[in-house]
Amino acid sequence: MAGEKTNKEKLILDAAVSLFTTKGFTATRMEDVARKAGISKGLTYFYYKNKEDLFMALTKKAFDQFKDEFREAYRAKGKNGLEMLSDLVVRIPAFAKQNQVYYDSILNFLDLMKKYNNPETRDQINPLILESVHFQKLLEIHHEPAKIGVMMVSQGIKDGSVRPELQPEITFYTVWSMIIGYEKMMGPIEYEGKEIKINPSNWQPGFQKLLQDMLRGTIQAVKPVTVQGSLF
């Protein structure tokens, strides 16, 4: 019975991912999901109360898979902390490209958390989302990828590949925010053409080198040398 339940839930989630990808969340109806999954509308509502509940379940699955990317990077043999963090520069954009709906749901949840943590904006969140059991689970597990990221920074400090004066939590969240921005800018970078001297081929290695230099501490500000000339 448990196996059948899991299979039905997977069918519904897979159908939702397909429809959210092609039609978008707003245009997709629960009956569309049921039809795509090949099950009755009533059974779909049995597993997920509404579309918002379904999207929160999808988001939880996204975080589970996202955590796997972090775990694989952290468990890679023979890599120091800096190399693990550098691996995320490749893994996170690849995850976004291969699983766009999942990645978008993760970013959407981060925006939700911004509203949820502020008493003045929490009432802006759809009540159906707040009532979802999957939303409550997400409150408990959404930080797990970041916890692994913090461990990477700590490992880097320990093995000497990351500057010892850096605070692991602040450092990782700064790195993560940079990678989010890096992934977001890929579209504009590909569109720039010849007007700006940047393209996908130099964007990734350039970003990665800058990040590594910051974490290693090899970036040093050079004070301009003032040359005093004589008028006579």
Are 115 and 136 contained in the same domain? yes
Confidence of residue 70 (pLDDT cuts 50, 70, 90): very high
Question: What is the span of the domain harbouring residue 21?
Answer: 1-48
pLDDT at 225: 52
Rounded Cα gap, residues 175 and 89, in angstroms? 9
Are 87 and 59 contained in the same domain? yes
Is residue 197 in a domain? yes
Is residue 231 in a domain? no
What is the average per-residue pLDDT within 120-135? 96
Is residue 228 in a domain? no
Is residue 223 in a domain? no
pLDDT at 188: 80
Is residue 230 in a domain? no
CATH of residue 28: 1.10.10.60
Confidence of residue 131 (pLDDT cuts 50, 70, 90): very high
Are 25 and 92 contained in the same domain? no
Are 56 and 144 contained in the same domain? yes
What is the average per-residue pLDDT within 119-138? 96
What is the average per-residue pLDDT within 163-177? 97
Say which range, 118-122, 144-148, 161-165, 202-206, has the weakest mean pLDDT: 202-206
Q: Which residues contact 17 (CB under 8 A, 6 or more apart)?
A: 58, 101, 102
pLDDT at 231: 36
Residue 61 has pLDDT above 90, yes or no: yes
Q: Count the domains in the chain.
A: 2
pLDDT at 202: 85
Is residue 188 in a domain? yes
Confidence of residue 4 (pLDDT cuts 50, 70, 90): low
Structure tokens at 165: 């004066």
Are 19 and 125 contained in the same domain? no
Residue 221 corresponds to which amino acid? A
Q: What is the pTM of this model?
A: 0.86
Rounded Cα gap, residues 10 and 16, in angstroms? 10
Concatenating the DSSP letter of every residue in 138-205 gives: HHHHTTHHHHHHHHHHHHHHHHTSS-TTS-HHHHHHHHHHHHHHHHHTHHHHHH-TTSSS--HHHHHH
Angle among Cα 22, 5, 133 to the nearest 5 degrees reads 70
Residue 193 has pLDDT above 70, yes or no: no
pLDDT at 216: 93
pLDDT at 194: 59
pLDDT at 222: 47
What is the average per-residue pLDDT within 196-214? 86
CATH of residue 118: 1.10.357.10
Are 183 and 138 contained in the same domain? yes
Instruction: Report the percentage of the chain scoring pLDDT > 90.
Output: 81
| Distance separating the N- and C-terminal Cα atoms of the chain | 96
What is the average per-residue pLDDT within 143-160? 97
**Is 187 within 8 Å of 168 (Cβ atoms)?**
no
Are 30 and 124 contained in the same domain? no
pLDDT at 200: 77
User: Over the stretch 76-108, which tens digit does the pLDDT of each residue have?
Assistant: 999 999 999 999 999 999 999 999 999 999 999
Helices within 23-75 (DSSP H only): 30-37, 41-47, 51-74
**Is 88 within 8 Å of 70 (Cβ atoms)?**
yes
Is residue 31 in a domain? yes
